[in-house]
Amino acid sequence: MNVLITGAGGFIGKNLFSNLSSTKGVTANGYFHGDSLATLKDIVGKADWIVHLAGVNRPDDVSEFKAGNSDLTSEICNIASKCGKQIPIIFSSSIQAGNDTPYGKSKLEAEEHLKSYSVNTGSQVYIMRLPNVMGKWCRPNYNSAVATFCHNIARDLPIHVDDENKIISLNYIDDLVAKIKSVICGHEVFSNHVNFLEVEPVYEISLKFLVNTLVGFREGRPHLEIDQVGSGLIRALYATYISYLDESDFSYTVESHTDDRGTFVEFLKTKESGQISYLTAKPGVTRGRHYHNTKTEKFLVVQGEALFRYRQLHTEQYFEISVSAANPTVVESIPGWAHDVTNTGHCDLIILLWSSEVFDKDKPDTIPSEI
């Protein structure tokens, strides 16, 4: 299946082209800014699908809105209608389509051209009236507040906000690409010839929330803190923010606490799910010898061999577990049981450690106790 992407060099186009190029059975072809009309005619004729993303939204002259949005769409429809086959078209319109601006009018005119194309050829047309779209590869200091804020905040550059209470609507690029791909690959079937596609979710947020969240990402890093970035809006914002880091910020050092027993390094601290660290112990060295009332831990030996020992505080019950990196095993610390770990191997012991709580030196919940 050949898919033609107009505007393949733009923000959405780059993401879609990259995704489709790695999709089995799909060949992605791009029409780029500056390509000739002859090139367009050649690649339209080879297309089984057209995803029309090319357009103008920040021209030097308002007349470019009509040329870049309405007229280009009309030309694509004319070329496609003469190919002797039905070519479905997915079009990236805007929530501003039809408003009383040159941009909005040009997008609505483009939609009308597509509707006429569908009537004349019987081809299906899919129109997406998109809000702002955020994600990697969006151009900062152009037409996206999210891209500009991510770029500047990641570099500790100033940002300008006229009204922090202004609400903006956002789609995330991966959700948009997934929607387009789902339609192309036939995972969604539509009976109408002209269809308006809803790309969900749409996030409604204030500029104040956006700025505070992005600043929080930046300020949390030196403290090893990370937000709840696993799902939803925060996941999308975090991935977007990280994509704007300067190459010099792709890595950062963390503090190492070393003594004659070995090393302890904190790696990551979450807001509600504890922290991740690692520790080392030299051969024969024992670490721990304490208990917790509430805090729990998970240990995973990634190098060497270890003996974990336990003592129940009131019954004096004793228990031990021998583990090695050769047989990955998660060992838990249990509230009310004193515990320690001894390196029983011949090389340095390295243990990955998760704790259910971020360490608080004022309330450590770590009470010394011999086994």
User: Mind telling me the catalytic residues?
Assistant: 103
H helices within the chain, ranges in order? 11-21, 37-45, 63-65, 72-81, 102-121, 145-154, 173-184, 207-220, 232-242
Quick count: other Cβ atoms within 10 Å of Cβ 91? 23
Rounded to whole angstroms, what are the CA distances from 295 to 20, 261, 269, 335, 369?
46, 23, 15, 7, 15
DSSP notation for 180-240: HHHHHTTSS---SSEEEEP-S--EEEEHHHHHHHHHHHHHHGGGTEE---SSHHHHHHHHH
H helices within 59-99, ranges in order? 63-65, 72-81
**CA–CA gap between residue 86 and residue 70 (Å, rounded):** 21
DSSP structure class, residue 261: S
The position carrying tokens 């089995």 is 24
Pairing verdict, β 125-130 and 225-226? unpaired
The position carrying tokens 């429809």 is 77
The position carrying tokens 């006429």 is 116
Is the peptide bond between 131 and the residue preceding it cis, with omega within 30 degrees of 0?
no
